[in-house]
A and B are shown apart, each in its own frame.
Chain A
Amino acid sequence: MESKLKNYLIGAFGILLGVLWLSPFYLMIVNAFKSKKEIFMGVLGLPEAWSFDNFVEAFIDLDFVNSLWNSVMITVVSVVVIIVFSSMAGYALSRNKSKLSGGILLLFVAAMLIPFQSVMIPLTSLFGKADMLNQAGLIFMYLGFGSSLSIFLYHGAMTGISQSLDEAATIDGANRFQTFTRIIFPLLKPISVTVAILNVIWIWNDYLLPSLILSENNATIPLKMFYFFGQYTKQWHLALAGLTIAIIPVIVAYFFAQKQIIEGVSEGAVK
């Protein structure tokens, strides 16, 4: 009896905490529906009318279709590039047991210690000289920054894939490349999902790197949000509507794939 009561109390406490945790989203959404004057009157209550005017205006000012497309393009291409090249590298490094191979792996792991801010100044200067401060340059940079963790994860996953598979494929006449694409890569699918999730969350939300590289025409959602917010500092009704719009794609994706996302993040963090 006592433990049942305790369970109820813990359950109620959990719900309370959950509501508290979600309250910033509630405040953002209800105020996004209000007029400037209504926000001034009070921020806690519901709006008088559920008008979408703020959203329409913010949607247009954010040039949302265009920024969404830029974000999707940069994220998808970068993540595909990272997956393809990191899985190849993880495979090669795990199948070569020499000291050199171990050293290369260590180099990638050590590179994770280098914070972005310590290379960003020469990086933008060098890529500027090569005329690569554009989307292609940005995707290449994401490969450079993202490959370390991804290779590390692929290398770890390779230890579970027996070398006898490689040997069998070689006997059947497959070359290295065919062995990798037809046999190894499909077996790496679970870790590929993890690598994809971790990199999508990072690249989709990244602000500083694209802000140094992309022009306003090619702005991704966070970048556009920054410009947009600067225009509407005292106009919270529009700013909040814009923020809500910017978050919607992420929340939708999260609800569809939350199980995989949480598992992927768990795997990426614990290793």
Chain B
Amino acid sequence: MGNRSLSFWLFLTPVLVGLGLVVIVPLIYGTYYSFTDWNGLTASQFVGFEHYINLFQDKAFLNSIWFTIKFSFVTIILLNVIGLGFALLVTQKLKTSNLLRTVFFMPNMIGGLILGFIWQFIFINVFSDVGEALGIEGLQGWLSTTGTGFWGLVILTCWQMAGYIMIIYIAYLQNIPGELVEAAKIDGANSFQRFKNITFPLVAPAFTVSMFLTLSNSFKIYDQNLSLTNGGPYESTQMVAMEIVKTAFSANEMAYGQAKAVVFFIMVAAIALTQVYYNKKREVDL
């Protein structure tokens, strides 16, 4: 199929039109309007960088970025630890391996909105009951403070995504040649040494994949945030995505919301590109 062949273009037209009208055109159109006083329908004048200057002094926006960064940092570490742990567990040739794999992955099948509602019940009602029974003060009043809201979101996200990360690690663990492990055993390496010197370096590429996924996912989280804390108390657990939605669709500041959305896009793209670059480089070094 040459570039001039009609069939080449016919085969591509539907997806090019789709991507163009749904992603590319809105991105360009939105970026343009973020420099105006656009209200979602019309724009009467250019305001230059006004929105961009304002958003760097916007406490709610800056807080949401900081909250999202802290959240992503903690989640990436926990998810990779739990995911790798699960993967090591279900590749132990236990009788229950398949069942456990199914169980660990199950929360991933259900949408974040519904999971957030379930956990709202657990954090508020179950935690307080258990706390009362065991006399643990710290289990009372979950989701009513910034700290418990933060950890609530972390726990929910780990529960939802650990099975997914596990699957990525399983794929890499299964590629480790058995002879290598056997040879190390014969040479007298204990299980910790085998993990450190064989398993760990060979699953290192899985870090690329799972860190990239966790990071970009945690930046884009909205549903879980909405259903678990709705940003409360006092917008202190509001993540970037929710801040943008609220600016645009609750406060109706379309152009300002879009300026935040453009900054958000630049952040997500920059993180993703840096990470891919960094991980590729590290893999080569190993």
A residues engaging B (CB < 8 A)? Answer: 7, 10-11, 13-15, 17-18, 21-22, 24-25, 27-28, 31, 39, 42-44, 85-86, 88-89, 91-93, 95-96, 98, 100-101, 104, 107-108, 111, 113-123, 125-126, 129, 140-141, 143-145, 147-148, 151, 175-177, 180, 201, 204-208, 212, 222, 225-226, 229, 236, 239-240, 243, 246-247, 250-251, 253-254, 258, 261-262, 265-266, 269-270
Contacts and interface: CB of A to CB of B under 8 A. Distances in A.
A39 B122 CA distance: 12
Contacts of B213: 269
B37 to A, nearest CB: 14
Given A18-B96, A115-B268, A118-B261, A10 B112 contact: no
Nearest to B222: A208
20 contacts: A14-B92, A17-B86, A24-B119, A27-B126, A28-B118, A88-B12, A89-B12, A96-B5, A108-B19, A122-B27, A122-B33, A143-B15, A147-B19, A205-B110, A207-B222, A225-B117, A229-B117, A236-B125, A239-B121, A269-B167
Interface string B221-264: 01100110000000000001100110011000010011001101
Dominant SS among interface residues on chain A: helix
Given A115-B264, A222-B111, A243-B114, A269 B209 contact: yes
A148 B27 CA distance: 16
A120 B159 contact: no
Contacts of A122: 25-27, 29-30, 33, 258
B8 interface: yes
A59 to B, nearest CB: 16
B30 A119 contact: yes
Interface of B: 1-3, 5, 7-8, 11-12, 14-16, 18-27, 29-30, 33, 40-41, 86, 89-90, 92, 94-96, 99-114, 117-119, 121-122, 125-126, 129-130, 159, 164, 167-168, 170-172, 209, 213, 216, 219-220, 222-223, 226-227, 240-241, 244-245, 248-249, 254, 257-258, 261-262, 264-265, 268-269, 272-273
A125 B245 contact: no
Given A147-B15, A180-B11, A207-B113, 10 more contacts: A21-B107, A114-B27, A117-B261, A117-B264, A121-B248, A121-B254, A143-B15, A144-B22, A145-B23, A226-B226
Contacts of A239: 117, 121
B109 A92 contact: no
Q: Which of A143, A148, A201 has the most CB of B within 10 A?
A: A143
B113 A44 contact: no
A10 B254 contact: no
Given A101-B3, A266-B171, A44 B94 contact: no
Contacts of A96: 1-3, 5, 8
A239 B267 CA distance: 37
Nearest to A255: B102
Contacts of B219: 115
Contact of B100 (A17, A107, A118): A17
Contact of B26 (A88, A115, A123): A123
A92 B11 contact: yes
A140 B257 CA distance: 24
Nearest to B6: A176
B26 A126 contact: yes
A144 B18 contact: yes
B1 A95 contact: yes
Nearest to B111: A205
A265 B26 contact: no
A95 B9 CA distance: 12
A248 B5 CA distance: 49
A207 B111 contact: yes
A43 B125 contact: yes
Contacts of A14: 89-90, 92, 94, 96, 100
Contacts of A115: 216, 219-220, 241, 264-265, 268
Contacts of A10: 89, 92, 94
Contacts of B125: 31, 39, 43, 236
A117 B249 CA distance: 12
The 9 closest A-B pairs by CB, nearest first: A144-B22, A205-B111, A122-B30, A118-B265, A92-B11, A176-B7, A122-B26, A85-B14, A144-B18
A67 to B, nearest CB: 13
A125 B40 contact: yes
Contacts of B117: 225, 229, 239, 243
B1 A92 contact: yes
A18 B103 contact: yes
Contacts of B102: 254, 258, 262
Contact of A44 (B129, B226, B273): B129
A201 B114 contact: no
Contact of B272 (A98, A113, A243): A113
A126 B25 contact: yes
B55 to A, nearest CB: 14
